[in-house]
Structure 1
Amino acid sequence: MNVKMTVTLPDHVLHYAERLVEEGRYPSIDSVLAASLEDMMQSHENDPLTGMADELHRRMALPRDQWIAMDEDDLFDRVRERLAARSRG
Structure 2
Amino acid sequence: MNVKNTITLSDRYLRHAEKLVEDGQFPSIDKVVEAGIDELIRADELTPEQNDAVTRMGGEIRRRLDGPREDFIPWDGEALANRIKAKLDDKYQGR
Give the root-mean-square deviation of aligned CA atoms. Answer: 1.7
Q: How many Å separate the matches in 1 of 2:12 and 2:25?
A: 18
Cα shift at 1:7: 0.4
What per-residue deviation string (whole Å, max 9, x for no partner) do you get for residues 24-56 of structure 1? Answer: 00000000000110111101111416x9xxxxx
Paired AA for residue 29 in structure 1: I
Larger Rg: 1
Mind listing any 5+ residue stretches in structure 2 that lack a counterpart? 52-95
Secondary structure of 1:9 counterpart? coil
Q: How many Å separate the matches in 2 of 1:2 and 1:35?
A: 15
Q: 1:25 to 1:45 in 2, by over 3 A?
A: same
Mind listing any 5+ residue stretches in structure 1 that lack a counterpart? 52-89
Paired AA for residue 30 in structure 1: D
For 1:1-89, what aligned pairs fall within 5 Å after superposition? 1-48=1-48
Paired AA for residue 19 in structure 2: R
Q: How many Å separate the matches in 1 of 2:46 and 2:18?
A: 29
Where in structure 1 do 4 or more consecutive aligned residues deviate above 4 Å?
Answer: none
Aligned sequence identity (%): 46
The alignment's TM-score, normalised by the length of structure 1, stands at 0.52
Count of paired positions: 50
Q: How many Å separate the matches in 1 of 2:14 and 2:44?
A: 24
